[in-house]
Homo-oligomer: A and B are copies of this chain.
Amino acid sequence: MAQQTNENSTLIEALFDIFRNHGYEGTTISLLSEITGLQKSSLYHHFPKGKEDMLRAVVKFVSAQIQQHIIAPLLDTQVKPEKRFSNMIKTVKAFYSDGGKNCLLNVLNLGEAKADIKKRQSDDYNAWLNALIQLGEEVGLSQPEAINWAERFIIIVEGALIIQRLTSNKQTFEKHMEQEQKQFQQFLKS
């Protein structure tokens, strides 16, 4: 299975874009069909178990993206902590289109999501959190300090996305990311 990761991933990316912007209930098969250019039945050929399977594939895809482009670079001790953090900020900004796109972690957890999806999402969060904690400790924070800083950083990412969406102020997200950048540089000086 999954030999043509290339073409398949652009399909999944299209699905991802819909799910993150409309939520699960707000995403209809008709809409997915429109966007992907595939007929409904073609979508069902790729995802025999239907809508929930499509979401599952998206979440799995995103999970891999996060692992590869956020977690792994954060833990790469061959790169200087400062560089690792600024790289992450860059990746995160791109991932959310400078705050123009929503976060699946937020969007999906309304109502009742299936257990395995919830689990993967909370695993993703924890992986990100732990990588940040490790980085924090690396630059001299105590463990409690690092935990608190890491948690707050992700909170600010999620919160800033909401506020930017709410106010249509396209600089909100970037502004607060830069602020986190400066905050991190303060750690290096002490």
B-binding residues in A (CB < 8 A)? 21-26, 102-103, 105-107, 109-111, 121-122, 125-126, 148, 151-152, 154-160, 162-163, 165-168, 172, 176, 179
Knowing A159-B154, A159-B157, A176-B155 touch, does A109 contact B26 (C-beta < 8 A)?
A: no
Knowing A21-B111, A106-B106 touch, does A162 contact B159 (C-beta < 8 A)?
A: yes
Chain B residues closer than 8 Å to A157, beta-carbon distance? 159
Knowing A167-B122, A167-B125 touch, does A110 contact B152 (C-beta < 8 A)?
A: no
Nearest chain-B residue to A105 (Cβ)? B166
Taking the nearest CB of chain B, how far is it from the CB of A44, in angstroms? 21
Selected contact of A111 from candidates B26, B105, B109, CB within 8 Å? B26
A165 to B112, CA, bound (A): 12
Taking the nearest CB of chain B, how far is it from the CB of A137, in angstroms? 20
Chain B residues closer than 8 Å to A166, beta-carbon distance? 105, 109, 121-122, 125
Taking the nearest CB of chain B, how far is it from the CB of A103, in angstroms? 8
Taking the nearest CB of chain B, how far is it from the CB of A59, in angstroms? 13
